[in-house]
């Protein structure tokens, strides 16, 4: 895991001046990874730490709270994935209305120069900063003319730019294969198994009810998923995300049935990687019809996970 520093603190005086990038990095997706790859390359060339300067909470949460935008992942997962990309340290700025009012030149002098002692800067195609997002790379070059700076172009696929907003839309539609292409991994949900009504046991499909704080959930339906118990190896499973209309449910639930597995999961943490959407959630006339469909779903999930060769190495 990378070291985590507070944005209000000065970079350690005995550490080399870092190579820095700036952004939210929600999802640490393919667009982010092209930028992070270059960040790490530059840092290794200079014998310096690769540092991500980011914000918590994200600026949009503070500046436009009524326009809720679901986070792709929780903070600990973001830090872990940044570390997997080679980032040595994450500097987290506690974003507030007061911080948002600082002009761009203050940010350059106070944050980049004085606090971070930035040795080189690598930023994305849409890099802006300061009050009203008025600052850009031209301002950095003017105020810090000796600072090496580099701007990385947008990463694109056939459908456009790989962006967090596009990924949110794709995940919300239930297209998990497309989401995995944009993310560079499956979209996952993490949560704790809590008690339920245990109806699944009566029809041969016991489920773990996952209580999650993950904000970005796929469309309601039945999915083929890989599941990890307390960070263990991926296990094949299927999941139902929805309100269980056959039982007149009202509150959305995430229920996971591990295929060919039995045991007590209460209180354990599950990570659920969504691989393929098998069908819509639907109401059945009677429980026997539901059980028959669940058997077909289990076969479909095995087929989908068998074709997902990367699952065994996640």
**What per-residue confidence (pLDDT) applies to 313?**
44
Taking only the tens place, the pLDDT of each residue in 84-143 is: 999 999 999 999 999 999 999 999 999 999 999 999 999 999 999 999 999 999 999 999
Which residue segment(s) compose the domain that 10 sits in? 3-160
What confidence category does residue 180 fall into, taking pLDDT thresholds of 50, 70 and 90? very high
pTM of model > 0.95? no
Question: 206 and 297, same structural domain?
Answer: yes
Pairing type for strands 3-6 and 19-22 reads: unpaired
Question: 237 and 108, same structural domain?
Answer: no
The CATH number covering residue 232 comes to 2.40.30.30
107 in any annotated domain: yes
Q: What is the mean pLDDT of residues 274-298?
A: 87
Question: 19 and 155, same structural domain?
Answer: yes
Question: 127 and 198, same structural domain?
Answer: no
169 in any annotated domain: no
Question: 141 and 49, same structural domain?
Answer: yes
For 54, 132, 226, the CA distances from 79, given in Å and listed in that order, are 10, 27, 22
Question: 7 and 131, same structural domain?
Answer: yes
Question: 297 and 239, same structural domain?
Answer: yes
Question: 29 and 147, same structural domain?
Answer: yes
19 in any annotated domain: yes
Question: 105 and 215, same structural domain?
Answer: no
Across all residues in the chain, what is the average pLDDT? 91
Residue 9 has a CB neighbour count (10 Å cut-off) of 9
Number of domains comprising the chain: 2
170 in any annotated domain: no
What would you report as the CA-atom Rg of the chain, rounded to the nearest whole angstrom? 22
Taking only the tens place, the pLDDT of each residue in 140-178 is: 999 999 999 999 999 888 778 999 999 999 999 999 999
DSSP state of 11: P
Q: What is the mean pLDDT of residues 254-259?
A: 94
Taking only the tens place, the pLDDT of each residue in 11-65 is: 998 999 999 999 999 999 999 999 999 999 999 999 999 999 999 999 888 999 8
What confidence category does residue 67 fall into, taking pLDDT thresholds of 50, 70 and 90? confident
Instruction: Of 169, 172, 167, give the one whose Cα is nearest residue 183.
Output: 167
172 in any annotated domain: no
The proportion of the chain whose per-residue pLDDT surpasses 90, expressed as a percent, equals: 75
Which of 150-188 are b and which e, b meaning 16 or more Cβ less than 10 Å from the residue's Cβ? eebeebeeeeeebbbebbbebbeebbbebbbbbbbbbbb
Question: 207 and 146, same structural domain?
Answer: no
pLDDT of residue 244 exceeding 70, the answer is: no
């Amino acid at each position: 895991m990378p070291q985590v520093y507070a944005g209000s603190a000065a970079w350690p005086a005995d550490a080399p001046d870092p190579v820095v990038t700036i952004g939210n990095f929600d999802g640490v997706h393919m667009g982010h990874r092209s930028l992070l790859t270059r960040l790490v390359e530059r840092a290794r060339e200079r014998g310096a730490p690769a540092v991500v300067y980011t914000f918590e909470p994200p600026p949009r949460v503070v500046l436009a709270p009524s326009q809720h935008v679901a986070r792709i992942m929780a903070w600990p997962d973001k830090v872990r994935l940044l570390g997997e990309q080679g980032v040595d340290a994450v500097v987290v700025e506690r974003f507030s209305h007061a911080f948002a009012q600082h002009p761009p030149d203050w940010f350059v002098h106070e944050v980049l120069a004085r606090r971070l002692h930035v040795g080189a800067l690598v930023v994305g195609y849409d890099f802006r900063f300061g009050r009203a997002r008025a600052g850009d790379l031209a301002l950095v070059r003017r105020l810090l003319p000796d600072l090496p700076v580099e701007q990385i172009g947008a990463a694109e696929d056939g459908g456009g730019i790989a962006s967090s907003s596009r990924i949110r839309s794709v995940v919300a539609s239930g297209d998990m294969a497309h989401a995995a292409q944009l993310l560079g991994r499956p979209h996952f949900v993490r949560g704790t198994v809590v008690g339920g009504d245990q109806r699944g046991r009566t029809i041969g499909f016991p489920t773990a009810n996952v209580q999650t704080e993950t904000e970005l959930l796929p469309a309601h339906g039945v999915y083929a998923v890989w599941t990890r118990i307390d960070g263990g190896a991926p296990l094949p499973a299927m999941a139902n995300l929805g309100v269980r209309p056959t039982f007149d449910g009202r509150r959305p639930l995430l229920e996971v049935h591990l295929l060919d597995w039995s045991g007590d999961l209460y209180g354990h943490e599950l990570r659920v990687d969504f691989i393929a959407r098998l069908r819509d959630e639907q109401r059945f006339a009677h429980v026997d019809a539901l059980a028959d469909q669940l058997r077909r779903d289990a076969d479909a999930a095995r087929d989908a996970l068998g074709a997902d060769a990367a699952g065994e190495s996640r």
